[in-house]
Structure 1
Amino acid sequence: MNTTIETLLSHRSIRKFQDKALTEEQIKTIVECAQAASTSSFIQAYSIIGIKNIETKKKLAELAGNQPYVAENGHFFVFCADLHRHTLIGDLENKDVTESVESTEKFMVAVIDAALAAQNATVAAESLGLGICYIGGLRTNIKEVTELLHLPANTIPLFGLAVGYPAQDTAIKPRLPYQHIYHEESYQADETTYKKQLEEYNQTISAYYHERTQGKRADTWSSQMAHMLSQPKRMNMKDFIHRQGFAKK
């Protein structure tokens, strides 16, 4: 096993960081690694907003549901789906790109591009001995986040990435069984097998929580997911992305 694989398999979310800022060299390295990620048709349909100002961090923490580690970290990155520059390209090259920019396909490309870039950034940060935590809570008040960061049309803040020096050591959370995720040749949809795998995974997760919390928690993965999915949230997302000029077609 090489060091890259060891880094990937050692991933865990860090929610408490030391009071130590990243250096400019670290930030640049992380962003350059993000840019090295694959991008569909070389479209590079994302932007990254770096946040150092503590007041801006505190406001983002509030908008993300009062998550303290949004404010208390070494550096905070916001990954955005971005087709704004491509509208400028249309002007520059005297081409009408509106239909493509407003298509659902290009919205998917922008989201995928941003996610790939963010994962590269994560691996880079963790390889430097830093910890990270993805922050999807920015979408809870997505309009306010967009206004705070002065994002133009055809951009959307997808998620944040808190990066810093870990001030805690957390256990690796067990993932779903390999056989549940990886299908050969076609989707294996035998429900009896699927449910059996879920029940086994529930036992693993319950034991993980029991040990991590000294017996204060022992819930299962399926109970977590059922509870979460039975309470829809951020149901304004479709209207918002349309207002920003995405996925209109």
Structure 2
Amino acid sequence: MNQTIETILRHRSIRKFTEQPLSEEQLSAILDSAIAASSSSFIQCVSIIRVTESDKRESLAEYAGGQPYVATAAEFLVFCADYHRHKQIHPEAKLGFTEQTLIASVDAALMAQNAMVAAESMGLGGVYIGGIRNNPAEVSELLSLPHHVFPLFGLCLGFPAQDPERKPRLPRELIVHQDEYQQDLDRNLLAEYDNQVREYYRTRTGGNKNTSWSEQITATLDKEARPFIKAFINEKGFSLK
């Protein structure tokens, strides 16, 4: 095992940060690492908005569902699907295909993961903020996002002011399939994992949370998941066909 793999395996979401700012060199390395990520067909259809104005940070924290670390982290980056740049290059570009939405989403995730790994390799921490999709129209207006650009998620970065345990992930046997999809879920293995997650929450919350992973996803998938998103991205010129 090398240092890169060790950094990846140590990943935890950090939601409390010190007041120490990132150096210009650190931020530059993080952004360069993000930009170096793979790009489908070399389309490069992602833009990153670095938000530094405190009032905008406060608004984004509110739009994201009241997540204060959006306002207090040393850096906050918003990753956006972006074909506006391409439309300026080629006004007759055939846009609006769902495949283009997928390409932008995948590329943005690759860029953000590169940024996170780069940050963690320097002793920094971070957390992704999907909550900006709670109010995508307001976020778009705040950041002056034009047509053919919409916000996918945010990323808080900074020096950690907490040292949380690593959250247990599903065992490899439930994720990795050999040659074909294994349709029968190993319930015994799932039960073992549920117990691990339940113990993780008990330890992390001092016994105030007693939930398994299966119970958590049942609650999550029993409710709507931002049903307004489809209409919003359609208005922005995405996934029309």
The TM-score normalised by the length of structure 2 is 0.97
Equivalent residue, structure 1, for 2:221: 229
For the residue of structure 2 that corresponds to 1:22, the secondary structure is coil
Equivalent residue, structure 2, for 1:36: 36
Equivalent residue, structure 2, for 1:171: 165
What is the aligned-residue identity percentage? 51
Equivalent residue, structure 1, for 2:24: 24
Pair 1:15-2:11 in alignment: no
Aligned-residue Cα RMSD (Å) equals 1.0
Equivalent residue, structure 1, for 2:139: 145
- Quote the offset at 1:86 in angstroms: 1.0
Could you tell me which amino acid in structure 2 is paired with residue 86 of structure 1?
A: H
For the residue of structure 2 that corresponds to 1:71, the secondary structure is helix
Pair 1:122-2:138 in alignment: no
For the residue of structure 2 that corresponds to 1:13, the secondary structure is coil
Pair 1:184-2:178 in alignment: yes
Pair 1:97-2:89 in alignment: no
Could you tell me which amino acid in structure 2 is paired with residue 116 of structure 1?
A: L
1:201 pairs with 184, 193, 207, which one?
Answer: 193
- Quote the offset at 1:242 in angstroms: 0.4
Could you tell me which amino acid in structure 2 is paired with residue 201 of structure 1?
A: Y
1:12-32 CA-partner distances (Å, limit 9, x unpaired):
000000012222222211111
Equivalent residue, structure 2, for 1:217: 209
- Quote the offset at 1:196 in angstroms: 2.6
CA contact (8 A) 1:7 1:127 kept: yes
C-alpha distance in structure 2 between counterparts of 1:120 and 1:65, whole Å? 26
Unaligned runs of 5+ in 1: none
C-alpha distance in structure 2 between counterparts of 1:129 and 1:223, whole Å? 34
CA contact (8 A) 1:20 1:73 kept: no
C-alpha distance in structure 2 between counterparts of 1:102 and 1:25, whole Å? 38
Moved more, 13-22 or 3-12: 13-22
- Quote the offset at 1:118 in angstroms: 0.4
C-alpha distance in structure 2 between counterparts of 1:24 and 1:50, whole Å? 13
C-alpha distance in structure 2 between counterparts of 1:43 and 1:121, whole Å? 19
Correspondence list, 1:59-78, <5 A? 59-78=59-78
1:185-210 CA-partner distances (Å, limit 9, x unpaired):
0111114x2x3322221111011111
For the residue of structure 1 that corresponds to 2:103, the secondary structure is helix
Could you tell me which amino acid in structure 1 is paired with residue 46 of structure 2?
A: Y
- Quote the offset at 1:214 in angstroms: 2.3
- Quote the offset at 1:224 in angstroms: 0.7
C-alpha distance in structure 2 between counterparts of 1:238 and 1:74, whole Å? 32
Unaligned runs of 5+ in 2: none
C-alpha distance in structure 2 between counterparts of 1:190 and 1:222, whole Å? 16
- Quote the offset at 1:213 in angstroms: 2.1
